[in-house]
Copies of this chain bind each other. A is one copy, B any other.
């Protein structure tokens, strides 16, 4: 009952909001309006609420949700599969023997061939700087053509499951987590969030999370701090976006290379490793030209560079400097945890253990974020669709 009233009230609020997601893809949060972001968060919560009272929202009578992972994944694969199950789609995986679909002709054909009864395509393509998001747009334009020409009778929505630029399903799950942790979106205003680089002995972690976090959190009036060694700074385009969003939302955006200072009075810290833009770009070039020697050399160089910053570790000392010594620690998982899965890494065992359950909860929003994106991007009148389904219970 009270659950139903809560749902009704959420749906009514949603009706007041001018979102515009139907027949669009979800590729980058910074391309979306505030209302779009807000509505996805809201619908994700509605779906979680419905699921937790042991119900589904099988809005699709039939059809496929296809996941296309051009990089390994267990967790996001399961999240996507869960979202499909929730909405009534059959999940099917694209399997590429070799990553070779780059030239336009083949993409165009393949994409149409797999989309005759497809409602959503989730893509991860995060290995190649300058190419992952581009690939998604090639898929999108193939779908546009196929839909326009009557090849496919519905336009599947593309969901970015991580590219070279952004990781929207992750960062929006992160956002939902802190919204609920602190109470509501308003409460995030003025909160200090530190997106910090941290040491890892591994090589080539994508930049999508830090880029996604600074550009998304800056839209909610937060005091966003990006903290990293100079060489690890994202591209200026991204920094400009974070700056601009902060201005609009009434927050702030700062960059520093001093972890100790950054953590001072922070409400939220997100310490995580990533590779320098220069390295990622160079790696893409070497991969493209098949230069194996160059790649070995580059990896060595990158690891040596990383090793200059072995003290960039989120430990108890740093945490004690945060607001009341108890900032919320966040991570997209899996983390490099010292003395657990590595010798030296992003976070100490003690700090991670203290926030472990919170990081699990953080991840738990992802299936619902994905489902909300699919629902809002494929349904003309999504609110009516939800209301109709709720009547069945």
Contacts and interface: CB of A to CB of B under 8 A. Distances in A.
Given A64-B81, A74-B110, A117 B86 contact: yes
Interface in A49-79: 51-52, 54-58, 60-64, 66, 72, 74-75, 78-79
Interface residues of A, number: 64
Interface stretch (A7-15, A37-45, A148-156, A236-244): A148-156
A64 B82 contact: yes
A56 B119 CA distance: 13
Interface string A165-193: 00000000000000000000000000000
A105 B338 CA distance: 12
A64 B86 CA distance: 9
Interface in A76-97: 78-79, 81-82, 84-92, 94-95, 97
Contacts of A116: 78-79, 82, 363-364, 366-367
Number of copies: 3
A341 B105 CA distance: 8
A340 interface: yes
B54 A61 contact: yes
Contact of A91 (B63, B90, B114, B333): B90
A334 interface: yes
B62 A85 contact: yes
A117 B367 contact: yes
A349 to B, nearest CB: 9
B360 A151 contact: yes
Contacts of A60: 56
Contacts of A117: 51, 82, 85-86, 367
A337 interface: yes
Contacts of A103: 340-341
A357 interface: yes
A109 interface: yes
A227 B51 CA distance: 51
B334 A74 contact: no
Most B-side CB within 10 Å, residue of A82, A150, A337:
A82
A92 B94 contact: no
A88 B62 contact: yes
Interface of A: 51-52, 54-58, 60-64, 66, 72, 74-75, 78-79, 81-82, 84-92, 94-95, 97, 103, 105-106, 109-110, 112-114, 116-118, 145-146, 149-154, 333-334, 337, 340-341, 356-357, 360-361, 363-364, 366-367
Given A55-B61, A74-B113, 14 more contacts: A56-B62, A64-B78, A74-B95, A74-B114, A79-B116, A90-B90, A105-B341, A106-B334, A109-B360, A112-B360, A112-B363, A145-B357, A149-B360, A150-B361
